[in-house]
Amino acid sequence: MVRILGGLVGLGFVLALLLGIYDTVSNWISNPPQATAEHEFHEHPRKAGFSFEGVLGKYDNRQLQRGLQVYKEVCAACHSLRLVSFRDLEAIGYSEGQLKTIAKGFQVPSINPETGEAATRDGLPSDRFPLVYANDVAARAANNNAIPPDLSLMAKARHDGANYIYSLLTGYREQAGYKNEKGEELLKQFPETKTPEGLHFNPYFATLNLAMAPPIQDGQVTYSDGTAATADNYAKDVSAFLMWSAEPKMGARKTAGFASLIFLVIFCFLAYGAKKQIWRGVKD
């Protein structure tokens, strides 16, 4: 009797599941989801050709240093890098003296030892990059009610992060007349998506419109190594730097993984040889 009741209960669950699937499929067929502007006109990141891509790819320290320069002269006006310490920059080729100079160029929060009141001081290599704004209220007040995100982990927080950042920085377009790969014009198909005042159209952004104005332009930053001062180079360099800030141990991880694969291949050959040696006198 118990088995019969258990079987009936199980059969009931199966029938309920099948009915739910049937209802979902039938609703989808009779009322298919409507196309949205975000789905039809959002573009996937373009490939920038970074040196660290691929199994054996590695960071280019010169590029990372240029990216840091772009961050300091452009991005640091709005975006924090709160999870990165100045001394971490030693990994991209800076000496101890250079680290002290870089840290000194930032003011970090401190306490006045005489009065106990809040104050600021020159940064030290042991400090982290300071926050740009004291709190979200101050950030919104300075940025048209938008909060600039911290960039420490941005390259890992977005799909194809480095290429996404590069595409976003170089992807600002005029919305009027913009067409997707199918040749469809955005405002003709979705006139309600006209970019509101205070926002900027960018097909690489999830909602197509964002509060950040185009941050870079040709000639904005002068590189000391003679690299061309173009917006495309700025975007590539700062994207590479933000990839490093999000995953500074990528090179070590790839090296360890490659060494592990070599070990496993050698181990397989040794194990096979041991098996042949142990069972050599046994006939099938």
Amino acid at 105: G
End-to-end alpha carbon distance in the chain: 52
- Annotated ligand binding at 268? The verdict is no
- Annotated ligand binding at 212? The verdict is yes
Q: What is the pLDDT of residue 35?
A: 64
Evaluate whether 236 touches 165 at the Cβ level (below 8 Å). Answer: no
Q: What is the pLDDT of residue 113?
A: 80
Global pTM?
0.84
Q: What is the pLDDT of residue 241?
A: 98
Top pLDDT among 210 and 118 is at 210
Q: How confident is the model at residue 59 (pLDDT cuts 50, 70, 90)?
A: very high
Each residue's pLDDT tens digit, 206-260: 999 999 999 999 999 999 899 999 999 999 999 999 999 999 999 999 999 989 9
**Residue 269 pLDDT > 90, yes or no?**
yes
Nearest alpha-carbon partner for 70 in 202, 231, 212: 231
Name residue 108's beta-bridge partners: 121
Record the tokens describing residue 89, joined without a space: 């920059």
Kindly list the domain boundaries of the chain, sorted by start residue: 1-32, 37-81+148-247
- 123's CB contacts (< 8 A; 6+ apart) are 86, 103, 104, 105, 106, 107, 108, 130
**Residue 7 pLDDT > 90, yes or no?**
no
- Annotated ligand binding at 250? The verdict is no
- Annotated ligand binding at 78? The verdict is yes
Burial of 200 (0-12, 13-18, 19+ CB in 10 A): middle
- 84's CB contacts (< 8 A; 6+ apart) are 128, 129, 152, 245
Record the tokens describing residue 131, joined without a space: 């926050």
CA-CA distance, 50 to 166, in Å (whole number)? 10
Q: Where are the alpha helices (DSSP H) in 143-178?
A: 154-157, 161-170
The percent of residues in the chain predicted with pLDDT above 70, rounded, is 96
**Residue 33 pLDDT > 80, yes or no?**
no
Q: How confident is the model at residue 179 (pLDDT cuts 50, 70, 90)?
A: confident
**Residue 2 pLDDT > 80, yes or no?**
no
Domain 37-81+148-247 has CATH 3.40.50.720: no
